[in-house]
Amino acid sequence: MLYLVGISLLVGCAPLKPLTPEEAVRLRAQERWGALLKRDYSSAYQFISPSYRSAVKSETYASTFGSALSWVAAEVVSVSCEVKKCIATIRVDAKPLLGRKFSNTISTHVSETWLLEDDNWWFFQKL
């Protein structure tokens, strides 16, 4: 019995397999959209490239989001990577806040660019 416990501990301490670029970007993009869905713009800001964050303050970034619609869901549907660049496609479901004519949820797809910088994947936000 003690032998099995020892093996379990060794297996539990085995190094984790590193994520592929596609897996890493999928995870980070989904986390970023999770923050956006909660309107937690300061958390979403942390996924943006360091170069953008050095030029634009968090408060300024947060002020770029309008209020004409409310995101209700987001899902990363695909990620395609090159050496230091990935394109993530996200399905976003939104509900317009104005007008009865558009009271249903609208689904669309957005493409995001993610760049490898300092051993991490960052969302590329245009200035």
40-97 per-position pLDDT tens digit: 999 999 999 999 999 999 999 998 887 767 889 999 999 999 999 999 999 999 887 7
Which residue segment(s) compose the domain that 55 sits in? Answer: 20-123
The answer as to whether 102 is a domain residue is yes
The tally of domains found in the chain comes to: 1
Over range 25-38, report the average pLDDT: 97
Q: What is the pLDDT of residue 1?
A: 46
Q: What is the pTM of this model?
A: 0.81
Over range 100-113, report the average pLDDT: 83
Closest by CA position to 44, among listed 56, 25, 31, 53: 31
DSSP letter assigned to residue 29: H
Q: What is the CATH number of the domain that holds 74?
A: 3.10.450.50
The answer as to whether 10 is a domain residue is no
CA–CA separation, 126 and 14 (whole Å)? 40
Q: What is the pLDDT of residue 14?
A: 54
